[in-house]
Amino acid sequence: MGTAIVWFRRDLRLADHPALDAAARRHERILPVYIHAPGEEGAWAPGAASRWWLHHSLQVLQAALGRHHGALHLRTGASLDTLLALVEASGAEAVYWNRLYQPALVERDTRIKQVLRERGLEVASFDAALWRSPWQVLTKKDEPYRVFTPFWRNLRAQLGDTVESPLAVPTPLRLQALEGSIGLDALELLPTRDWADGFSTHWTPGEAGAVEALDTFADDALRGYAEQRDRPDRIGTSRLSPHLHFGEITPRMLHHALHQRLPPAVLAGKGCASFLREVGWRDFAHHVLFHFPHSAERNLDRRFDRYPWRDDGLALARWQRGRTGIPIVDAGMRELWATGWMHNRVRMIAASWLTKNMGQHWLHGARWFWDTLVDADLASNSLGWQWVAGSGVDAAPYFRIFNPVTQARRFDPDGTYIRRWVPELREAPKLLVHEPWLQDGFAASCGYPEPMLDIKASRQRALDGYDAIRSA
């Protein structure tokens, strides 16, 4: 039986953990390991907000393993070298992990698996983060999908009507101790500035926090999700994205939990169907990144390589700090800075303003979101930004340019969301909260900036740019 190393990565939970389950069934002892090696993630090492979440999620996982009379062994350094050293020190005969699909990590893990097997070790990796791995959902021609709807139709058919049961926490967990683990603080994940101090009032990282968030969503918002998920002025979304990204909960766990707690009428309703479709969109994002790994850096639609992007650092800084003079955009950017999260509808509006009205390359926005979102996920981030810019798979048509005023009036009709995050406009009358420039001098009297661009003129400039690359 011997010892198996379970290499934790973005699967920071004990339940529904295939690698942990396999180790518990096949081996006498388990050495749980986390290796901090951000340099191996290439240009997309975790951003500051993600590192904040990672610190607290690891802390929770450490406590959970402590309740099983063990500990999470923490190391820094090259993953392969560290694993080889741990194998020698522990006498382990097997190494197990759950798969990741980020291009740089796929290449790394393939190499590590090869070397460990050459050393005579048993090595196995498992599907755990998605409903289905990217190579399991293909067209009839065995090609990757480029459009979500047929992808979802295929995935939904594979899932069928039977809800898969998640794996239970292995019992007993026989954990092996090993000297040489470093302290969590030595990973230096927490920001040195105080900008993240407010995160803890909005989030509870860890497996228990994920379950609590799911319970709250199922009780309060799921029934009206289809109608309310686009309303930033209401609590109508699940806020499960960071928990899913760090693997504190899985699609299988949340799907099963909903079926366990909700009556059939609710499960068959539009709210549940719409929510599961959004979880499927996450699978689709990983599908696209896996099959088109360059999409994290380059336009999938190569015509956009010729688009006349602008490069204006001062304008970009105004967008980042929520000082564009467009209330709904500024509200979203300030929510992001304060909480590490932004409502999805507002993400699209803010992204459209940056790429289409401001004419900035979508990578500028993707990098800012990557550093400031607690749910920063390379697949979802890249797909979302290319969707808005019009340069990716299943992209928004080139002529779809969100009018931020129209969007705000539709989805934040009373200005509740704007008033919360743009305090300068808290006392603004309803007529002006979405368009403070309608009354001369009003914005200045509130200490709020005038619009950095004319909405109509900047929209036309974007259309002209699209026409140029379409005809080239």
The catalytically annotated residue of 93, 122, 281, 403 is 281
Report the alpha-carbon angle 130-23-285, nearest 5: 10
8 A C-beta contact, residue 386 and residue 392: yes
The catalytically annotated residue of 41, 93, 122, 309 is 309
The catalytically annotated residue of 93, 122, 164, 344 is 344
8 A C-beta contact, residue 46 and residue 38: yes
The catalytically annotated residue of 362, 368, 421, 437 is 362
Task: Give me the residue label for tokens 């050393």.
Answer: 119
Strand partners, 34: 8, 74
344 is a catalytic site residue: yes
Task: Give me the residue label for tokens 């459209």.
Answer: 352
Distance of alpha carbon 262 from the chain centroid: 26
The catalytically annotated residue of 44, 370, 385, 437 is 385
Q: The tokens of 88 are what? A: 């020698």
In the β-sheet with 29-36, what is the strand arrangement from edge to edge? 73-76, 29-36, 3-8, 94-98, 122-126
Task: Give me the residue label for tokens 């959970």.
Answer: 64
278 is a catalytic site residue: yes
281 is a catalytic site residue: yes
98 is a catalytic site residue: no
List b or e across 331-368, with b for residues whose CB sees 16 or more CB atoms inside 10 angstroms. bbbbbbbbbbbbbebbbbbbbbbbbbbbbbbbbbbbbb
CA distance 12 to 114: 25
Catalytic residue numbers?
A: 278, 281, 309, 344, 362, 385
